[in-house]
Structure 1
C-alpha cells in the first residue's frame, strides 16, 4: 500500500512563526505597501478557517488622506463619548500610525449551523493572518482595537459598517523604524494538559 500523501514541510514558515514579533504601531513609518502588494496580503488573510464558507468579515482599507479624515472622526466621536483628553488624543493618533490601516470588519451572517462565536473566531483568524502576512512580506505590522472598535455610530458613519458589524481589529502596516526586543513568551508546558 502506498504511503499517504503528506504536505511538504516548510521549516522556514515554522521558523517565522516561532520568531514573529508584532511591531508597535507608533513606531511604523508613513511608508507602506502599494495596492498590488496589499491585495496579496488581503488574499493571504482571507485564506483562514471559515466554517460554512460564510465570509463573516470584510476589509476597509484606510490609507493616504483617509487616515486624517478617520482620525478627525475618531477625535470627534471619542470627545462626544466623554473620554478624557488623553484618551481622545490617543484614539485619534492611532489613525496616523503606519501607512495603511486595514479595518477587519466582523460581519456575522445568519446561520442555523454556524454560531456567532465561531464567526467571531474566523474574523480574529483573518486579523492574525493579515498581521503575519504583512510581517512575512517585510513590513512592520500591529493588530489593535481601541474604544471605537465596537462603537456603532463611529463605525457606521466613518467606515460604512452595517448594524451588527464591528471591528475585529485595526491592522496597522508600515515600514518599521525600530526592531523591538522580544518580550517574555508564555510557558507552553504550564499551559498544556496532555491526555
Structure 2
C-alpha cells in the first residue's frame, strides 16, 4: 500500500481559484517568487526540452501591457467592451508570471505534448503560489490569443503562444467554494 501524503491531498482537495481582480498588495518578493518558480518548474518537460519560457510582469509593466491591449483592440476595430476586456487584467494586476508555450522542433516529442507541459507548468505555478500562502489565478483573455499582441507584449515568435498569465498577490478574502463536477457525468470506466 502506498504511503498517503494527507497534507498534500487535503491541500489539493481544498484548492480553489481566486478572482485576480480582487488581489491587493503585497506581492511576493523576488526571492519568494523565485522559490515558487523553482518548485513549479518541477513539471514534466519531455526529455529536458523545457518547451516554455517565463516572463515576470510587475506593476509598472502592467500599465504598458494595458496600453498595448487597448491599442491592439482599437486596431482590430474593437468597441469599448473589447478595449475594457483587453485592459482589464493588466489595469488591475499587481504581479503576474506569463507562461509562454515554446515547442521545440523535436520529432520524438510531439508538439501537443510540449504545449501540455506549458499548461502543467501554469497549474504548478498556481499550486506552488497557493501553497506558499498567496492568492493565485490563471487567466488568459483575448489578447493572450492574439498573435500580434503576444509578439509585441511578450516577444512571441513562430509557434510560441501564451499558455497562461498567472496573477500572484494577496487575496483579501477567500470566496466560498463553487460547485464541482459530478464524477458520474465526466468519468467513464473502460
TM-score normalized with structure 2 length = 0.93
* Structure 2 equivalent of residue 187 of structure 1: 182
* Ranges in structure 2 where 5+ consecutive residues have no aligned partner: none
Cα contact 2:122–2:166 (8 A) shared by 1: yes
Q: Does 1:69 align with 2:69?
A: no
* Structure 1 equivalent of residue 75 of structure 2: 80
Cα contact 2:85–2:141 (8 A) shared by 1: no
The equivalences for 1:96-175 within 5 A come to 96-175=91-170
Distance 1:84 1:64 in 2: 26
* Structure 2 equivalent of residue 178 of structure 1: 173
Superposed CA RMSD:
1.6
Which of 14, 24, 36 is equivalent to 1:41?
A: 36
Deviations 1:2-56 (A, max 9, x none): xx9x6x5321111000110111011111321011111111112211112222111
Q: Does 1:59 align with 2:54?
A: yes
TM-score normalized with structure 1 length = 0.91
Q: Count the aligned residue pairs.
A: 190
* Ranges in structure 1 where 5+ consecutive residues have no aligned partner: none
